[in-house]
Each structure stands twice: as structure tokens, then as C-alpha cells.
Amino acid sequence: MKTQQIAGVITTVEQWTHQQRCQFIERLLPLCNTYQLDMLWTVLQPSLHRDYFYTVKFRYPDYHFKQISTPSSRMLKV
């Protein structure tokens, strides 16, 4: 797909309602292969974590949550 075509699709989708976008995604996902779904999950996962931590910090501002992943643990994982 050419860059201009992608830009056109994005412009079109930006004009859709929430419901139209959801319907599109519901119809698109069954057409995707495993690699494409893995790529989508890789893109979505950090956003979901950011939302979770933002919400937790907002609702429980005085509670200290210990990080599970630290620079040291990430170095050991490699």
C-alpha cells in the first residue's frame, strides 16, 4: 500500500464514529494472521499498562506500588 493510500485510509477512519471504528476492527481482526495480531498486541500492550498505572496512581495517590520490572531485572532477563 502506498503512503498516499495509507494517508487516505487514516483520513477516512478519523471521520468515523466510535461505533464505526469498533465495527471495522471487529471485521478486520478475523482477516489478520498470527504475525499481524502479535504486532498489534505489541503496540497495544504498553498503552494498556500506562492507562493502568495512571488510573491506579490517580485513585490511590498515597499508596506506593513497588515496580516489578526494574533496570536490574531487565538486565538479568536478557
CA distance 58 to 51: 10
pLDDT, tens digit, for every residue of 27-45? Answer: 999 999 999 998 888 877 7
Query: Considering just the CA atoms, what is the radius of gyration of the chain in Å?
Result: 18
pLDDT: is 67 or 7 the higher one? 7
DSSP string, 15-45: TS-HHHHHHHHHHHGGG--HHHHHHHHHHHH
Write out pLDDT tens, residues 16-27. 999 999 999 999
